């Protein structure tokens, strides 16, 4: 049963379980603080393929395959898969997952895609549309740079507010098991917010207001406060966006002492030349499906909020001078 809580939030009376999860990362990500939490590292940016786009598809294949193995089910047991990425028409997902022969629903929530997919998979399982559902997403620094900014050979200068697109992938398998796995207890789908930011090199400023709105809606709906949760994770606001996120919340009378951002967790910004931190669909996905769920599974964190943020722009909209609409989806995960 799915219960409506307040205006924007839904709670699962029988929370779907994360039966298996996996995180795959690239070399630069592995060199960061979270290297022990990745299930697999692919050191070659091309991953043995002849294009970066094909390499990104391979990242998704590996993440999904490992998650399936860890869930102790088979690909043919999965009734539906939700997947997406940053590339036009979500080609990394479509090309990467075509051989799994699983009914497929492509997703585009930009960097919020992991939360969006996980919520939809949970709703599908809770509604008994699927006994087992999967979600997977990815990003790749080189493929994203080629599509959104400049060819790598150009060597363009990056401003301090820019973020480094993570090369990585994360996958989760949802269903009902023995009750000893991390569970999706509740979720809040975000609304599009656009405050007129046009700088493609300042995604944090564009996305922070969306994260504020979604968290505020969830707390009001559930009549809880930030202190009720062990951790509140945002997707990839980076240092600039995280500072703005906390400042905007403070203006609403909401003060955070337990906030971490996946874009700051995956890299050591004092040692790596990533400027404001990590970003991309694979950023929050690889951190969630590695470090965060490991903490929940171990019982170190029993009640967390995961808020993945996304900038809903395209190369064409940026070239036409449009502002950057943003979104944030929230998931309450418990042990």
What is the distance between the alpha carbons of residues 121 and 100, in angstroms, rounded to a whole number? 17
- Residue from 308, 313, 271 nearest 289 by CA: 308
User: Cα–Cα distance between 197 and 333 in angstroms, integer?
Assistant: 31
Q: What is the pTM of this model?
A: 0.95
pLDDT one-digit tens code per residue, 128-177: 999 999 999 999 988 877 777 666 555 566 766 777 789 999 999 999 98
Tens digit of pLDDT for each residue in 17-65?
999 999 999 999 999 999 999 999 999 989 999 998 999 999 999 999 9
Domains 2-175 and 183-334 share a fold: yes
pLDDT per position as a tens digit, 82-131: 999 999 999 999 999 999 999 999 999 999 999 999 999 999 999 999 99
**Residue-range domain boundaries for the chain:** 2-175, 183-334
User: What pLDDT was estimated at residue 150?
Assistant: 65
178 — pLDDT class (breaks 50, 70, 90): confident
For the stretch 292-314, pLDDT in tens is 999 999 999 999 999 999 999 88
Kindly compute the dihedral angle of the four CA atoms of residues 150, 151, 154, 158, in this order, to the nearest 10 degrees: 40
Q: What is the 3-state secondary structure (H, E, C) of 53-66?
A: HHHHHHHHHHHHHH
Q: Is the pLDDT of residue 264 over 90?
A: yes
The torsion defined by the Cα of 252, 219, 255 and 282, in degrees rounded to 10, comes to: -110
With CA atoms as reference, report the closest residue to 114 among 304, 309, 297.
309
In the block, tokens 């990394």 appear at 92
Return the DSSP state at 77.
G
DSSP 86-120: SSGGGHHHHHHHGGG---EEEE-BTBTHHHHHHHH
Tokens of 246: 């906390």
Predicted confidence at residue 275, as pLDDT, reads 77
Assign a CATH topology to domain 2-175: Peroxisomal Thiolase; Chain A, domain 1 (3.40.47)
On whether the 183-334 domain is CATH 3.40.47.40, my answer is: yes
SS3 198: coil
| Backbone angles phi and psi of 321, in degrees to 5 | 80, 15
- For range 324-333, the mean pLDDT: 97
Write the CB contacts of 181 (distance below 8 Å, at least 6 apart in sequence). Answer: 17, 18, 19, 297
Mean pLDDT (the chain) is 93
| Strands 80-84 vs 133-139: parallel, antiparallel or unpaired | parallel
259: left (phi over 0), alpha (psi -120 to 50) or beta: beta
pLDDT number for residue 276 = 83
């Amino acid at each position: 049963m799915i219960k409506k809580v307040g205006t924007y939030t839904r709670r699962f009376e029988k929370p779907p379980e994360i039966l298996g999860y996996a995180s795959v990362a690239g070399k630069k990500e592995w060199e960061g603080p979270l290297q022990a939490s990745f299930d697999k590292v692919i050191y070659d940016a091309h991953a043995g393929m002849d294009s970066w786009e094909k390499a990104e598809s391979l990242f998704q294949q590996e993440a999904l395959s490992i998650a399936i193995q860890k869930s102790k089910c088979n690909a043919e047991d999965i009734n539906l898969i939700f997947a997406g990425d940053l590339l036009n028409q979500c080609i990394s997902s479509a090309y990467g997952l075509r051989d799994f022969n699983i009914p497929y629903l492509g997703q585009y929530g930009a960097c919020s895609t992991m939360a969006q997919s996980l919520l939809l998979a949970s709703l599908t399982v809770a509604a008994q549309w699927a006994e087992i559902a999967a979600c997977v997403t990815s990003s790749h620094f080189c493929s994203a740079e080629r599509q959104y900014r400049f060819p790598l050979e150009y060597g363009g200068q990056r401003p301090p507010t820019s973020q480094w697109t993570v090369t990585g992938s994360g996958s989760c398998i949802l269903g009902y098991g023995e009750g000893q796995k991390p569970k999706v207890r509740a979720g809040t789908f975000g609304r599009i917010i656009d405050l007129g930011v046009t700088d493609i090199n300042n995604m944090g400023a564009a996305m922070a207001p969306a994260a504020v709105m979604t968290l505020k809606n969830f707390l009001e709906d559930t009549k809880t406060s930030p202190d009720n949760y062990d951790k509140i994770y945002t997707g990839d606001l980076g240092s600039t966006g995280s500072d703005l996120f906390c400042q905007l919340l403070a203006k609403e009378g909401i003060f955070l002492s337990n906030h971490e951002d996946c874009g700051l967790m995956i890299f050591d910004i004092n040692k790596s030349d990533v400027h404001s931190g990590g970003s991309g669909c694979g950023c929050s996905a690889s951190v969630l499906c590695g470090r965060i769920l490991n903490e929940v599974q171990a019982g170190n964190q029993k009640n967390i909020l995961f808020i993945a943020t996304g900038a809903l722009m395209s190369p064409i909209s940026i070239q036409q001078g449009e502002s950057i609409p943003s979104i944030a989806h929230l998931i309450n995960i418990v042990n």
